């Protein structure tokens, strides 16, 4: 892994993840990330960087606050979903003549 360093003159700014809602009623989706010293500037920078052609709402989240599952554990972590066919509508049979 490449060592993260900062130069003498440039101090490190925290990383923020940006989520944008394109239209009202739609979910917020991840659009990218940016560095900013605080939440107010993160939001302003997010608007300038990721919403130049519109958005209805923006979230900025400190990247370190996000907890994610790891790729190494993924097979086991999501395993239990694989064999539960009874969670899908195709598993169930109803009379052909009935429209649900």
Q: Which residues bind another protein (CB under 8 A)?
A: 1-2, 4-7, 9-13, 15, 17, 30-41, 48-49, 52-53, 62-63, 66, 68, 70-72
Alpha helices (runs of H) in 14-72, residue ranges in sequence order: 39-50
Give min distance, CB of 95 to another protein, in A.
41
Give min distance, CB of 99 to another protein, in A.
39
Give min distance, CB of 43 to another protein, in A.
12
Residue 77, CA distances (Å) to 69, 73, 88, 96 in order: 8, 6, 20, 37
Contact 36, 45 (CB under 8 A): yes
- Between 2 and 94, whose beta carbon lies closer to another protein? 2
- Between 9 and 80, whose beta carbon lies closer to another protein? 9
Contact 59, 28 (CB under 8 A): yes
Distance CA 56, CA 28 (A): 10
Give min distance, CB of 83 to another protein, in A.
23
């Amino acid at each position: 892994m490449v060592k993260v360093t900062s130069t003498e003159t440039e101090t490190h700014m925290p990383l923020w993840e940006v989520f944008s809602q394109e239209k009202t009623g739609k979910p917020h989706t991840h659009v990218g990330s940016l560095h900013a010293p605080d939440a107010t500037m993160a939001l302003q920078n997010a608007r300038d960087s990721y919403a130049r052609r519109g958005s209805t709402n923006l979230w900025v989240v400190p990247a370190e606050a996000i907890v994610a599952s790891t790729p190494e554990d993924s097979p086991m972590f999501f395993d239990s979903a694989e064999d539960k066919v009874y969670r899908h509508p195709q598993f169930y049979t109803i009379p052909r003549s009935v429209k649900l």
